[in-house]
Amino acid sequence: MIIDKLYKAVEEKGHVCVGLDTDISYIPKAFLESFSSIEDAVFNFNKEIIDETFDYVACYKPQIAYYEALGIEGLKAYSRTLKYIKSKGGITIGDIKRGDIAKTAEMYAKAHFQGEFEADFITLSPYMGMDTIEPFLDYIKNHEKGVFVLVRTSNKGSEDIQYIESKGSRKIYNIVGEKIKELGETAIGQCGYSSIGAVVGCTHVDEGKELRETLSSTFFLIPGYGAQGGKAEDVALYLKNGNGGVVNSSRGILLAYKNKDQGEKYFAKYAKEEVIRMKEEIALAVKLYS
Protein backbone atom coordinates (compact mmCIF):
# COMPACT_ATOMS: atom_id res chain seq x y z
CA MET A 1 0.00 0.00 0.00
CA ILE A 2 1.08 3.57 -0.61
CA ILE A 3 1.30 4.22 3.13
CA ASP A 4 4.17 1.74 3.36
CA LYS A 5 6.11 3.78 0.81
CA LEU A 6 5.51 6.96 2.80
CA TYR A 7 6.41 5.27 6.09
CA LYS A 8 9.68 4.07 4.55
CA ALA A 9 10.41 7.55 3.16
CA VAL A 10 10.07 8.99 6.68
CA GLU A 11 12.42 6.32 8.02
CA GLU A 12 15.02 7.07 5.38
CA LYS A 13 14.67 10.82 4.84
CA GLY A 14 12.94 12.29 7.88
CA HIS A 15 9.57 13.92 8.51
CA VAL A 16 9.63 16.99 6.25
CA CYS A 17 6.86 17.54 3.70
CA VAL A 18 7.58 20.48 1.39
CA GLY A 19 4.43 22.48 0.74
CA LEU A 20 4.61 23.75 -2.81
CA ASP A 21 2.20 26.65 -2.25
CA THR A 22 3.81 28.59 -5.05
CA ASP A 23 2.45 32.12 -5.06
CA ILE A 24 3.79 34.05 -8.03
CA SER A 25 5.13 36.67 -5.62
CA TYR A 26 7.41 34.04 -4.06
CA ILE A 27 9.41 33.65 -7.26
CA PRO A 28 12.50 35.87 -7.47
CA LYS A 29 11.97 38.62 -10.03
CA ALA A 30 14.95 37.80 -12.24
CA PHE A 31 14.02 34.12 -12.32
CA LEU A 32 10.39 34.93 -13.12
CA GLU A 33 11.35 37.27 -15.95
CA SER A 34 13.65 34.69 -17.52
CA PHE A 35 10.63 32.67 -18.71
CA SER A 36 8.10 33.60 -21.35
CA SER A 37 5.10 32.11 -19.56
CA ILE A 38 3.75 31.85 -16.02
CA GLU A 39 3.47 28.09 -16.50
CA ASP A 40 7.18 27.71 -17.20
CA ALA A 41 8.20 30.10 -14.42
CA VAL A 42 6.11 28.35 -11.75
CA PHE A 43 7.07 24.86 -12.83
CA ASN A 44 10.76 25.62 -13.05
CA PHE A 45 10.74 27.36 -9.66
CA ASN A 46 9.18 24.19 -8.22
CA LYS A 47 11.66 22.03 -10.12
CA GLU A 48 14.62 23.89 -8.63
CA ILE A 49 13.19 23.45 -5.13
CA ILE A 50 12.47 19.76 -5.72
CA ASP A 51 15.90 18.98 -7.15
CA GLU A 52 17.70 20.64 -4.23
CA THR A 53 15.56 19.14 -1.47
CA PHE A 54 14.69 15.69 -2.84
CA ASP A 55 17.23 13.72 -0.80
CA TYR A 56 16.04 15.26 2.48
CA VAL A 57 12.24 15.17 2.38
CA ALA A 58 9.59 12.48 2.69
CA CYS A 59 7.09 14.01 0.25
CA TYR A 60 5.78 17.12 -1.50
CA LYS A 61 2.37 18.77 -1.14
CA PRO A 62 1.29 21.19 -3.88
CA GLN A 63 -1.72 23.25 -2.75
CA ILE A 64 -3.97 23.42 -5.80
CA ALA A 65 -5.51 26.82 -4.97
CA TYR A 66 -2.23 28.61 -5.76
CA TYR A 67 -2.28 27.07 -9.23
CA GLU A 68 -6.00 27.55 -9.85
CA ALA A 69 -5.52 31.24 -9.10
CA LEU A 70 -3.19 31.46 -12.10
CA GLY A 71 -5.74 29.98 -14.49
CA ILE A 72 -4.94 27.40 -17.16
CA GLU A 73 -1.22 28.10 -17.06
CA GLY A 74 -1.19 27.54 -13.32
CA LEU A 75 -3.00 24.22 -13.61
CA LYS A 76 -0.55 23.11 -16.27
CA ALA A 77 2.28 23.94 -13.87
CA TYR A 78 0.49 21.96 -11.15
CA SER A 79 0.21 18.94 -13.45
CA ARG A 80 3.84 19.18 -14.56
CA THR A 81 4.98 19.47 -10.94
CA LEU A 82 3.14 16.29 -9.92
CA LYS A 83 4.48 14.39 -12.93
CA TYR A 84 8.03 15.59 -12.31
CA ILE A 85 8.00 14.42 -8.68
CA LYS A 86 6.63 11.06 -9.82
CA SER A 87 9.37 10.75 -12.45
CA LYS A 88 11.96 11.08 -9.67
CA GLY A 89 10.28 8.38 -7.57
CA GLY A 90 8.93 10.88 -5.05
CA ILE A 91 5.61 10.95 -3.17
CA THR A 92 2.96 13.60 -3.80
CA ILE A 93 0.04 14.87 -1.74
CA GLY A 94 -2.43 16.83 -3.82
CA ASP A 95 -3.81 19.33 -1.32
CA ILE A 96 -7.29 19.75 -2.79
CA LYS A 97 -9.54 19.47 0.33
CA ARG A 98 -12.53 18.20 -1.62
CA GLY A 99 -15.73 17.00 0.04
CA ASP A 100 -18.91 16.14 -1.84
CA ILE A 101 -21.29 13.27 -2.39
CA ALA A 102 -22.18 10.65 -4.98
CA LYS A 103 -21.21 11.30 -8.61
CA THR A 104 -19.43 14.56 -7.82
CA ALA A 105 -17.06 12.79 -5.43
CA GLU A 106 -16.49 10.09 -8.05
CA MET A 107 -15.36 12.77 -10.48
CA TYR A 108 -13.01 14.29 -7.90
CA ALA A 109 -11.51 10.85 -7.34
CA LYS A 110 -11.07 10.31 -11.06
CA ALA A 111 -9.60 13.79 -11.55
CA HIS A 112 -6.96 13.50 -8.83
CA PHE A 113 -6.13 9.79 -8.77
CA GLN A 114 -5.61 9.43 -12.51
CA GLY A 115 -4.97 11.61 -15.51
CA GLU A 116 -3.37 15.04 -15.60
CA PHE A 117 -3.65 15.78 -11.87
CA GLU A 118 -2.74 12.35 -10.51
CA ALA A 119 -1.25 12.33 -7.00
CA ASP A 120 -0.35 9.56 -4.56
CA PHE A 121 -2.42 11.07 -1.76
CA ILE A 122 -5.04 13.81 -1.69
CA THR A 123 -6.65 15.77 1.14
CA LEU A 124 -10.40 15.51 1.78
CA SER A 125 -12.95 17.30 3.95
CA PRO A 126 -15.42 14.96 5.71
CA TYR A 127 -17.77 17.58 7.08
CA MET A 128 -20.57 16.73 4.62
CA GLY A 129 -20.48 13.18 5.98
CA MET A 130 -18.48 9.99 5.69
CA ASP A 131 -20.21 8.99 2.46
CA THR A 132 -18.15 11.70 0.76
CA ILE A 133 -15.08 9.46 1.23
CA GLU A 134 -16.62 6.26 -0.18
CA PRO A 135 -15.91 7.02 -3.88
CA PHE A 136 -12.19 7.17 -3.09
CA LEU A 137 -12.00 3.77 -1.38
CA ASP A 138 -11.53 1.65 -4.51
CA TYR A 139 -8.47 3.69 -5.46
CA ILE A 140 -7.11 3.26 -1.93
CA LYS A 141 -7.65 -0.50 -1.78
CA ASN A 142 -6.81 -1.43 -5.36
CA HIS A 143 -4.74 1.32 -6.96
CA GLU A 144 -2.03 2.29 -4.45
CA LYS A 145 -3.61 5.61 -3.44
CA GLY A 146 -4.23 7.29 -0.11
CA VAL A 147 -6.07 10.20 1.51
CA PHE A 148 -5.56 12.57 4.41
CA VAL A 149 -8.91 13.58 5.89
CA LEU A 150 -9.34 16.84 7.81
CA VAL A 151 -9.74 16.04 11.50
CA ARG A 152 -8.36 18.94 13.52
CA THR A 153 -6.77 21.72 11.51
CA SER A 154 -4.14 24.28 12.47
CA ASN A 155 -6.06 27.50 11.84
CA LYS A 156 -7.60 29.52 14.69
CA GLY A 157 -11.08 29.22 13.19
CA SER A 158 -10.95 25.44 13.61
CA GLU A 159 -12.49 25.99 17.04
CA ASP A 160 -15.70 27.34 15.47
CA ILE A 161 -16.86 23.85 14.43
CA GLN A 162 -14.25 21.21 15.24
CA TYR A 163 -14.30 22.03 18.96
CA ILE A 164 -18.07 21.93 19.45
CA GLU A 165 -18.87 19.45 22.22
CA SER A 166 -21.36 16.64 21.73
CA LYS A 167 -22.75 14.21 24.29
CA GLY A 168 -20.21 13.09 26.84
CA SER A 169 -18.09 16.22 26.29
CA ARG A 170 -16.55 14.71 23.16
CA LYS A 171 -15.54 17.29 20.59
CA ILE A 172 -16.50 17.04 16.94
CA TYR A 173 -12.89 16.46 15.90
CA ASN A 174 -12.68 13.47 18.28
CA ILE A 175 -15.73 11.91 16.67
CA VAL A 176 -14.46 12.54 13.15
CA GLY A 177 -11.06 11.11 14.08
CA GLU A 178 -12.63 7.93 15.44
CA LYS A 179 -14.68 7.49 12.26
CA ILE A 180 -11.56 7.95 10.14
CA LYS A 181 -9.68 5.39 12.22
CA GLU A 182 -12.55 2.90 11.88
CA LEU A 183 -12.73 3.40 8.12
CA GLY A 184 -8.95 3.19 7.91
CA GLU A 185 -8.93 -0.33 9.33
CA THR A 186 -9.85 -1.52 5.83
CA ALA A 187 -6.57 -0.19 4.42
CA ILE A 188 -3.80 -1.03 6.91
CA GLY A 189 -0.35 -1.45 5.42
CA GLN A 190 2.52 -3.63 6.58
CA CYS A 191 3.86 -0.67 8.58
CA GLY A 192 0.79 -0.78 10.83
CA TYR A 193 -0.68 2.48 9.56
CA SER A 194 -3.59 3.04 7.20
CA SER A 195 -3.60 4.66 3.78
CA ILE A 196 -6.56 6.64 5.14
CA GLY A 197 -4.75 9.23 7.22
CA ALA A 198 -5.69 12.42 9.04
CA VAL A 199 -4.78 16.08 8.84
CA VAL A 200 -3.94 17.10 12.40
CA GLY A 201 -2.44 20.53 13.01
CA CYS A 202 0.36 20.90 15.57
CA THR A 203 -0.76 24.32 16.81
CA HIS A 204 -3.04 22.83 19.51
CA VAL A 205 -0.56 20.89 21.59
CA ASP A 206 -2.81 20.10 24.59
CA GLU A 207 -4.54 17.28 22.72
CA GLY A 208 -1.46 15.93 20.94
CA LYS A 209 -0.82 12.89 23.11
CA GLU A 210 -4.52 12.05 23.31
CA LEU A 211 -4.91 12.12 19.52
CA ARG A 212 -1.81 10.04 18.96
CA GLU A 213 -2.98 7.41 21.43
CA THR A 214 -6.56 7.36 20.21
CA LEU A 215 -5.69 7.26 16.50
CA SER A 216 -2.94 4.70 16.92
CA SER A 217 -3.06 3.33 13.35
CA THR A 218 -3.73 6.68 11.64
CA PHE A 219 -0.85 8.36 9.83
CA PHE A 220 -0.84 12.14 10.29
CA LEU A 221 -0.27 14.99 7.88
CA ILE A 222 0.81 17.72 10.28
CA PRO A 223 0.47 21.37 9.20
CA GLY A 224 1.12 24.39 11.38
CA TYR A 225 4.90 24.10 11.81
CA GLY A 226 6.93 27.30 11.44
CA ALA A 227 4.96 30.22 10.01
CA GLN A 228 1.77 29.18 11.86
CA GLY A 229 3.55 28.88 15.20
CA GLY A 230 4.05 25.13 15.64
CA LYS A 231 7.41 24.06 17.10
CA ALA A 232 9.43 20.86 16.76
CA GLU A 233 8.65 19.83 20.34
CA ASP A 234 4.94 20.21 19.52
CA VAL A 235 5.34 18.00 16.46
CA ALA A 236 7.02 15.25 18.50
CA LEU A 237 3.76 14.69 20.41
CA TYR A 238 2.03 13.61 17.21
CA LEU A 239 4.61 10.98 16.25
CA LYS A 240 5.09 7.44 17.53
CA ASN A 241 8.49 5.76 17.72
CA GLY A 242 9.83 8.42 15.38
CA ASN A 243 7.27 7.82 12.64
CA GLY A 244 3.54 8.06 12.02
CA GLY A 245 3.45 11.48 10.40
CA VAL A 246 4.91 14.03 8.02
CA VAL A 247 5.30 17.70 8.90
CA ASN A 248 4.43 20.30 6.31
CA SER A 249 6.19 23.61 5.81
CA SER A 250 5.47 25.89 2.88
CA ARG A 251 6.45 29.54 3.22
CA GLY A 252 9.27 28.72 5.63
CA ILE A 253 10.97 26.70 2.89
CA LEU A 254 9.92 28.53 -0.29
CA LEU A 255 10.85 31.93 1.15
CA ALA A 256 13.96 30.87 3.06
CA TYR A 257 16.04 32.91 0.62
CA LYS A 258 14.60 36.22 1.82
CA ASN A 259 17.16 38.50 3.50
CA LYS A 260 19.97 36.08 2.62
CA ASP A 261 23.20 36.96 0.86
CA GLN A 262 22.45 36.71 -2.88
CA GLY A 263 19.22 35.04 -1.78
CA GLU A 264 17.27 35.46 -5.01
CA LYS A 265 20.07 33.88 -7.03
CA TYR A 266 20.37 30.89 -4.70
CA PHE A 267 16.74 30.47 -3.60
CA ALA A 268 16.79 26.68 -4.02
CA LYS A 269 20.00 26.35 -2.02
CA TYR A 270 18.47 28.24 0.89
CA ALA A 271 15.33 26.11 0.62
CA LYS A 272 17.51 23.02 1.05
CA GLU A 273 19.26 24.56 4.06
CA GLU A 274 15.89 25.24 5.71
CA VAL A 275 14.71 21.69 5.00
CA ILE A 276 17.85 20.24 6.59
CA ARG A 277 17.52 22.57 9.60
CA MET A 278 13.88 21.60 10.04
CA LYS A 279 14.62 17.88 9.58
CA GLU A 280 17.35 17.95 12.23
CA GLU A 281 15.28 20.02 14.64
CA ILE A 282 12.36 17.59 14.46
CA ALA A 283 14.66 14.55 14.79
CA LEU A 284 16.17 16.03 17.95
CA ALA A 285 12.74 16.85 19.39
CA VAL A 286 11.57 13.29 18.72
CA LYS A 287 14.48 11.98 20.80
CA LEU A 288 13.81 14.44 23.62
CA TYR A 289 10.02 14.63 23.82
CA SER A 290 8.36 11.61 22.24
| Distance separating alpha carbons of residues 207 and 145, to the nearest angstrom | 29
257, 266 Cβ separation under 8 angstroms: yes
Name the strand (E) or helix (H) holding 176.
helix 172-184
Catalytic annotation, pick one of 47, 83, 86, 97: 97
Alpha helices by DSSP H, listed for 101-151, are 102-113, 137-142
Residue 11 CB neighbours (<10 A) = 12
What is the per-residue DSSP string for 39-84?
Answer: HHHHHHHHHHHHHHHGGG-SEEEEBHHHHHTTHHHHHHHHHHHHHH
Q: Is 97 a catalytic residue?
A: yes
- The residue among 185, 195, 226, 283 whose CA lies nearest residue 4 is 195
Q: Which residues are catalytic?
A: 97
